[in-house]
Amino acid sequence: MSAIPAEMIDTVDSMTAKPGQAFRFQTTEPGAIVVPTEPEGIPVPKGTIGWGVVRAVSAASRGNHYGTVTLEPRYLVLPKGKVMQVSMNPTLPSALASNTPGVEKAVSHVPIPIPGIAMTAVNTVRFGKNVRIGPGYTFSVVPIRALGLGPDC
């Protein structure tokens, strides 16, 4: 069992997203899901669409607090209408912020301008940056059934 690489299709922005909001992703390489009933594995073609939900979100705020988004991939829609439940690869962070290592290159920062504030007061009321995660952000998913089979994530 190995993790299946995926990439975001939709964009999730910490300034506007809501918990429970759906998002789509797609696999970026072909793979196979090995289950006891299918020793050869269930094929997962490249480009297979998956769905997930925004588990938690917080917008940037005063005191230079960064916005965060927690993504929860839920399932892949396999050929012939089969659905396979998946989870985020447990070796990856699920809560993402603008300053999460490795995320800053794949996300776009959304600064919030604050007009009319004196420069001496900027450090106490300055907003952090929101995070926008979308196409170009890559991660990997593992089938729920396979999580206990081995550490090959």
> Domain map of the chain by residue range?
4-146
Range name among 6-15, 86-95, 108-117 with the lowest pLDDT average: 108-117
Q: Give me the phi and psi of 121, to 5 degrees please.
A: -100, -5
Task: Indicate whether this model's pTM tops 0.75.
Answer: no
Query: Is the separation of the CB atoms in 6 and 45 below 8 Å?
Result: no
Which of residues 63 and 125 earns the better pLDDT score?
Answer: 63
Q: Give residue 53's identity as a one-letter amino acid code.
A: V
Assign 25 a pLDDT band (cuts: 50, 70, 90).
very high
At the second CATH level, the architecture of 4-146 is Beta Barrel (2.40)
Which of residues 45 and 122 earns the better pLDDT score?
Answer: 45
Query: Is the separation of the CB atoms in 18 and 73 below 8 Å?
Result: no
pLDDT beyond 90 at 105: no
Instruction: Quote the CA–CA distance of 23 and 20 in Å, as a whole number.
Output: 9
Which of residues 145 and 49 earns the better pLDDT score?
Answer: 49
If DSSP codes are grouped into helix, strand and coil, which group holds residue 144?
helix
Beta strands in 45-82 (DSSP E): 49-58, 68-77
